[in-house]
Structure 1
Amino acid sequence: MAKTAGAKRSSLSRTILIAVLLVIVGLAALAWFNRGPIQGYTTAATTYSARVACSCRFVAGRDLEDCAKDKLAGMEMVSLSENPEAQSVTASIPFVNTAIATN
């Protein structure tokens, strides 16, 4: 009887693994087919964020953390970093897009 329970668990584990893999493949295919719009939105988000944060930081003289509050709704994934020597701000969405604005 113990072998039957073990076989059922193994079958269930295999089924769950296959379902998870199918979901991952499905999401990857969805991202691939929508890569044009995704690239457009991420380019707009990073470029806008870099420009606004650079002006905020080096023209208005505010801290970068304070400037990050000026991001629009939906831009939560955009991260900001600064280079004080070059007076530039880099906005990036990890593994997708990066933009640099210079004062």
Structure 2
Amino acid sequence: AALCQWFIGMNSEIPSLGASGAISGVLGAYIIRFPQARVKTLVFLGIFITTIRIPALVIIGLFFVQNVISGLATLQTAAKMSVETGGVAYWAHIGGFVFGVILAPLFGLFRDD
């Protein structure tokens, strides 16, 4: 995750701190290991609050797509501005997720021993 963020912003002077890239890696591995899982989710309908079960693939997929869109937007911002804006390391999230999808099966995390 950190390597992906560094590759996108090699000249950045803003420090990167946190574990969100690692958490994204866990989410990527989860999608591969439990593709049919459903997640209990809060839904706000005006003044009513309820819970529904949504496929994890949908929730985590939306997380990934949102990070890709935001990551691409940061590239556009960086191209048009001479100042760094800081904030969320979207590319660390993307890199962590992709590496979680790729490396978890390679490391044998899904063997049924």
Normalising by structure 2, report the TM-score. 0.32
Report the structure, 1 or 2, having the larger helix content. 1
Normalising by structure 1, report the TM-score. 0.34
